[in-house]
Amino acid sequence: MHETYDFEKPRLKKDLEPEELLGVILEYAAKIANERSLDNVLMLMADMGKQIVISDRCTVWLLDDQRGELWSKVAHGVKELRIPLGAGLAGHSVSTGEPIFIDDAYTNVEFREVLTSGALRTDKQTGYRTKALMVIPFRNNEGDVIGCYQAVNKMTDSEVFSDRDLRNLSLAASYSGKSIESAMLSQEIEETQREIIFTMGEIGESRSKETGNHVKRVAEYSYILALGLGIPQTEAEILKMASPMHDIGKVAIPDSVLKKPGKLTEEEFDVMKTHTEIGYNLLKNSKRRILKTAAVVAEQHHEKWNGRGYPRGLKGEEIHIHGRITAIADVFDALASDRVYKKAWELDRILNLFKEERGQHFDPQVVDAFFEHLPAILKVRDEYADHLLE
Ligand code: C2E
Ligand code: SIN
Ligand code: SIN
Ligand code: SIN
Ligand code: FE
Ligand code: FE
């Protein structure tokens, strides 16, 4: 991942002059202040830190109080890193609120144990040579430590971090503290919203044998299909949040019908069909985009391209594209899963049905997108497989 730190190489780099330092801080402070994604804030802060102290590597760790861990994000597409608070130098610094300087990890005595189980062990695996280390805790407006910077290997002649590095990086960190807190709050709100949405969707499902992955799979299938049809990213994300709620109206369907092990009678199926209008009525008054989209999807996910669906018998493009997409996502998942009333179908049988229903039940273009993106869809199916609770 990183090239080896070469101690023979002359150190060409110099510490920043005050005006250069100010330039770096201003540049990053502006970017960070405009960033709402916490992952991006962390990565920008790490870049800024690396430039300010001229280190080979720089990581920003954030405290997760509830789990007693520090976590970090080092790159897009890479899963977050997590370490227990009690395990490393970073945790030590966050717990004590004190910075740590180490000039050479291989001769340091004070942190011998932590280094042996941390940096030195990693070096052995990677061939990297950790020498200088600096860890600086940073605080929020209330003065609580919320995380730390960890810089590794000073790239100037001195090869060690200085008090000046400490001051400069602390100064820079103080500018980002507020952005971190507001990004953390946005993330918290978004995660809470997502949980509420999935929980609402799961209420609608109420299937005795399912763990609730149905709604997550339908969300992901809808997202893949939307992007495949050229729908803009933001709208696809809104549909992904909204589609799990398509069956929310089933809250009002009696268990005797919803959980009936066998085939429904005509009267029972008429009761079942009302879940579309009930869902629509539950959601229609919201002004929020996600819930407005969810209302349309709840009402229209059983409409058919040929006009023979319910509740309104809409036809072709009279059915909103969000409804046409969710229809395929929902049926694919219903057929690929065990239900109280039926066993899961083999994939080939499902694909044959989709070919037959292209232009009948389903919008032909959405069916085409389905086949084009089948590998991604099957990946989701396998990743969110149900763990049956017998
Ligand atoms: P669901 O289980 O989520 O199924 C969604 C849709 O997937 C169904 O909408 C249907 O279009 C398709 N689907 C599911 N299983 C099969 C199948 O075995 N063969 C075919 N050709 N298509 C299938 P639909 O029919 O409007 O049903 C809506 C909801 O009504 C279903 O949601 C389910 O909760 C309930 N339901 C439908 N049929 C029965 C049944 O025979 N017994 C029971 N207990 N519930 C049923
Ligand atoms: C740490 O001690 O906090 C982590 C050391 C490392 O593995 O880089
Ligand atoms: C979502 O992001 O909307 C849900 C899918 C996930 O759990 O990542
Ligand atoms: C339906 O009843 O229309 C679909 C479900 C099934 O075929 O069992
Ligand atoms: Fe439904
Ligand atoms: Fe469903």
Per residue in 165-187, pLDDT (tens digit) is: 999 988 877 777 777 877 877 87
Atom of ligand 4 nearest to the CA of 269: 2
Residue 227 Cα to ligand 4 midpoint, Å, equals 29
Between the CA of residue 64 and those of 82, 128, 224, 324, what are the distances in Å? 9, 28, 32, 41
What's the whole-number average pLDDT of the chain?
Answer: 88
| CATH no. of 18-185 | 3.30.450.40
What are the structural domain ranges in the chain? 18-185, 207-389
- Nearest residue to 215 (alpha-carbon basis) of 195, 198, 238: 198
- Nearest residue to 25 (alpha-carbon basis) of 167, 169, 139, 150: 169
Atom of ligand 4 nearest to the CA of 263: 8
Say yes or no to pLDDT of 2 above 70.
no
- Nearest residue to 132 (alpha-carbon basis) of 101, 172, 177, 157: 101
Lowest mean pLDDT among 215-229, 265-279, 376-390: 376-390
Residue 17 or 387, more confident: 17
Q: How far apart are CA 61 and CA 63, in angstroms?
A: 7
Q: How far apart are CA 279 and CA 258, in angstroms?
A: 15
Q: In this structure, which ligand is nearest to the CA of 202?
A: 6
Say yes or no to pLDDT of 54 above 90.
yes
Architecture of domain 207-389: Orthogonal Bundle (1.10)
Phi, psi at 265, each rounded to 5°: -75, 170
Band (pLDDT 50/70/90 cuts) for residue 289 is confident
Residue 248 Cα to ligand 5 midpoint, Å, equals 8
Residue 354 or 286, more confident: 354
Phi, psi at 144, each rounded to 5°: -80, 140
Say yes or no to pLDDT of 224 above 70.
yes
28 within 8 A of 173, measured Cβ to Cβ:
no
Ligand 2, atom 8: nearest CA belongs to which residue? Answer: 119
Out of 59, 60, 89, mutate this one to test ligand 2's pocket (max ligand atoms within 8 Å of CB): namely: 89
Residue 99's pLDDT is 94
Residue 38 or 53, more confident: 53
Q: How far apart are CA 209 and CA 389, in angstroms?
A: 6
Say yes or no to pLDDT of 9 above 70.
no
> 344: burial class by Cβ within 10 Å (0-12, 13-18, 19+)?
middle
Residues with CB under 6 A from ligand 2: 88-90, 114, 118-119, 122
269 within 8 A of 281, measured Cβ to Cβ:
no
